[in-house]
Each structure stands twice: as structure tokens, then as C-alpha cells.
Amino acid sequence: MDEIGRMPMFKISKEEQLEVEMFPGVKRTTLACGKDVLMARFEYEKGAKVPPHKHSYEQVTTLLEGKQKILIENNGQTEEIFISKGESYIVPANFQHEQLTLEKALTIDAWSLAP
């Protein structure tokens, strides 16, 4: 039980997994969100872009379908990587990054929310 007497939630039903459109052609479904980790599924249409951004937590992504180009700033340099089905990448906390979808894509992303 937690500090106010609730039992922890172990199962998240499909109906509880909310889908939102993040950017044109980019949909996010939150699969599960615990105290320290969030996991989401993203669906990308071909040509969809995620603009440059950064966050205070580490991100791990696995591409289940499609192809993407990822731009990550590292020590003042922009690294360009291409990701295909079955490959993964990591974005460290506070690294600016952006994505361009080259082929319709599906990813599973996880973030560390712990301070």
C-alpha cells in the first residue's frame, strides 16, 4: 500500500493507455507510467517530424517498424544517425535531439523519470 492506503497498480488495461497526437503525423500512446519510468508507443507517418527539443531525463528508443533519421547535438556538434527496424538508440538527459521519419514507423520509447 502507498502512504494513503491505496494498493499499487500492476496492470494497465488497453482502455487506460491514452493516445494523443503530439505533432502532425506523430501519435503517442502511454503504455505504462510508474514512479521512475514511463514507456510509450509512437506511431509516425512518413515525413513526420519531431522538432528539436531536450528533456531532463534519459530516453531509450527501439524502432519496431520503418526508418528514421535522428539528429543529436553532442558537445556542439550535431550527430546524424539512421535507425532501421530492430535498432535502438539512446538520448542522454539534456541532449537536444530531433527526428525525421523516412518510412512509416513504430517505436517503443522509455524514459527515466527519476531525479
For the chain, domains (ranges, CATH) are 18-112 (2.60.120.10)
pLDDT at 85: 98
pLDDT at 78: 96
pLDDT at 105: 98
End-to-end CA, the chain: 23
pLDDT tens-digit series, residues 10-63: 878 888 888 999 999 999 999 988 888 999 999 999 999 999 999 999 999 999
List strand residue ranges (DSSP E) for 1-115, in order. 19-23, 26-33, 37-44, 49-53, 59-74, 77-84, 88-91, 97-112
pLDDT at 73: 95
